Amino acid sequence: MTVHRTIAVATAAPYDVTVGENLLPEVVGAVPETATRVLVVTAAPLRRHVDNLKALLDARGFTVVIAEVPDAEEGKTAEVLAFCWQVLGKSDFTRSDVVIGFGGGAVTDLAGFVAATWLRGVGVIQVPTTLLAMVDAAVGGKTGINTAEGKNLVGAFHEPLAVFCDVRALDTLPHNELVPGLAEVVKCGFIRDQEILTLVEANLDGLRDAELDVVRPVLVELISRAIQVKADVVAADLKESFLREILNYGHTFAHAIEYTERYQWRHGAAVSVGMVFAAELAHLAGRLSEDGVERHRAILSGLGLPISYPGHRWDALLTAMKRDKKTRGDLLRFVILAGIGNPIRLEGPDPALVQGAYSAVSA
């Protein structure tokens, strides 16, 4: 049996992230007694699990409303957000009531934004069911939706009451959803906790092949360490000055890929390429050794993640990168590494370096 881990996120509104198994009773226990109604935002593939949660909430006397939204990025739209507001309004939700986000990263992003905007803020509990959501989307209080102009350009900071990462939810994930989530885990190793990289390198085959019965203890350790990295960062910097920006390592190029590909690429796959791009940029800028670049390529490719992107989309990618949240005016800003575990900001790099990094990942 997996041991429960609790990671404290010591922000101004502190909360705990629990990693373990069979956590639905603890989810119900986290709903404040002052609440009367609970909105569960979820996607259709998870309905059986949500019905189990609903039964437990019903037994506690809560009025439970379920908002079933489109899966993945298709659910992060203004239209879906308006649908959730409509459900809340028709159900007479008040400030003492609670939203639960039960699903992948898109669902937790959406549910958090629903909670942040209803009556200027109601409580939200996040129950991420994918690896990506556990180590990234559900922790840290960033919520939002996509627009035609880009990803996560509309959103709010809204910290959850609690987060519950039930590792048994990963057993039912398709391979092509589980493995891309490892990119965000590896990211935490590159920017801060190098033990993550060591653990991944020692277990590449089992992680790549998603042999959960074999690597489950390692996976719990990796999830907990990645969450701890994020918890430490957001506790020191909730609203994205440079410290929080280090969590976006690889994301400037990754978000450009996602936008250019109309969100048909999985986020973790795009982040994998984005980290290699950032590593190549750091190397060209004289900040990261060739060994550091090769370690990126070896770990990510060893997990079966992509490390290249077609070489005919540069203009579209550059336009998309200029919409990145880190950009100031027309000045591109990147998070790069001055050595493994030492993230720094690179502002307004020579365009030739940026295009050179792109050439390195498009070869």
Q: What is the pLDDT of residues 280-301, one digit of tens each?
A: 999 999 999 999 999 999 999 9
Which contacts qualify for 69-74: CB closer than 8 Å, 24 or more apart?
Answer: 69/41, 69/42, 69/43, 69/107, 69/110, 70/43, 71/43, 71/44, 71/45, 71/103, 71/104, 71/106, 72/43, 72/104, 72/106, 72/263, 73/106, 73/146, 73/151, 73/263, 74/106
Least confident of 63-67, 144-148, 338-342: 144-148
pLDDT of amino acid 237: 65
Residue 263 has pLDDT above 90, yes or no: no
| pLDDT at 97 exceeding the cut of 90 | yes
The span from the CA of 20 to the CA of 205, in Å, is: 23
Does the domain formed by 5-172 have CATH 1.10.10.10?
no
Q: Which of 208, 225, 255, 295 is catalytic?
A: 255
Active-site pick, 49, 267, 296, 333: 267
The token pair that represents 286 in the structure block: 């004289």
pLDDT of amino acid 116: 96
Average pLDDT rounded to a whole number, residues 80-97: 96
Q: Could you confirm whether 49 is annotated as catalytic?
A: no
Cβ distance 215 to 206 under 8 Å? yes
Q: Give the N- to C-terminal CA distance of the chain in Å, as an integer.
A: 45
Average pLDDT, stretch 100-104?
A: 95
* CATH 3.40.50.1970 intervals, the chain: 5-172
Is 328's pLDDT higher than 60? no
Q: Is the pLDDT confidence value at 100 over 60?
A: yes
Averaged confidence pLDDT in the chain: 91
Across 166-175, average pLDDT: 87
318 vs 321: CA distance, rounded Å: 5
Residue 251 appears among annotated catalytic residues = yes
Task: In the chain, list all ranges with CATH 1.20.1090.10.
Answer: 175-362
Kindly state the average pLDDT of the residues 37-60.
94
283 tagged catalytic:
no
Q: Is 329 exposed, middle or buried (0-12, 13-18, 19+ CB in 10 A)?
A: exposed
Task: Look at 217 and 199; give whichever has higher pLDDT.
Answer: 199
pTM metric for this prediction: 0.89
Indicate if the pLDDT at residue 353 is higher than 80.
Answer: yes
109 is in an annotated binding site: yes
| pLDDT value of residue 112 | 96
For 175-362, CATH number?
1.20.1090.10
Residue 130 annotated in ligand binding: yes
